[in-house]
Amino acid sequence: MEVIFLHIIYHCVGGSHSSSTAAAIHLNMLPIDHTPNTFDLLHIPFYDTQEKVDRGRIFLRGIDEYGNYVYNLSRQFIPHLMLPAILDLWEILGQNKEDILFVNTMPCVNIWMKIGGFSSRRLEWVKLGRPIVAKGTLAAYDCLIKLVQETKKQFH
């Protein structure tokens, strides 16, 4: 019996905060049983790092304990265009559509993440925006944990 590994893509507007945090939780880089401190969050190598040129790019963040590939994606405000295009290309390349899973992290995003993320990434006011978005991310952390747990339940 052939083992099939999933390709799990956490996606959000900017790709720097909610989807990056979910990917880090999924990969056990951040705890799943409690909220980390700001220091631990900010030391995830891909948290609050995506630039304008990274929009629309799928970044492999690691392989989970089950052998699944975990990615994150900045899909901006057009998931209705980007996600079907990715899925179509996936199938054109001969892959099975059941082997790719898109996970929208936007339901976990709060106002602090929007304000901080906009300040840090769009305006490039990192010193102002990063503490605000980190505070928002930690406030949303329980939601992100639940999202990751629900994602993992789908395949194990």
pLDDT in tens, 26-52: 999 999 999 999 999 999 999 999 998
Q: What are phi and psi of 73, to 5 degrees?
A: -145, 135
Residues in the chain with pLDDT values less than 50: none
Model pLDDT, residue 2: 61
For residues 7-16, b (16+ Cβ closer than 10 Å) or e, as one string?
bbbbbbbbbb
Q: What are phi and psi of 74, to 5 degrees?
A: -95, 105
Model pLDDT, residue 26: 98
Model pLDDT, residue 5: 87
Model pLDDT, residue 153: 93
Mean pLDDT for the chain? 95
How many whole angstroms separate alpha carbon 14 and alpha carbon 16?
5
User: Nearest CA to 103 among 5, 7, 11, 6?
Assistant: 11
Q: Are 71 and 10 in contact (CB under 8 A)?
A: yes
For the chain, the domains span: 7-107+141-153
Q: Are 17 and 113 in contact (CB under 8 A)?
A: yes
How crowded is the C-beta side of 49, counted as CA atoms within 13 Å? 12
How many whole angstroms separate alpha carbon 134 and alpha carbon 126?
11
Extract long-range pairs of 80-88: CB within 8 Å, 24+ residues apart.
82/11, 82/56, 83/11, 86/9, 86/58
How many whole angstroms separate alpha carbon 35 and alpha carbon 122?
27
Model pLDDT, residue 155: 79
Determine if the pTM surpasses 0.75: yes
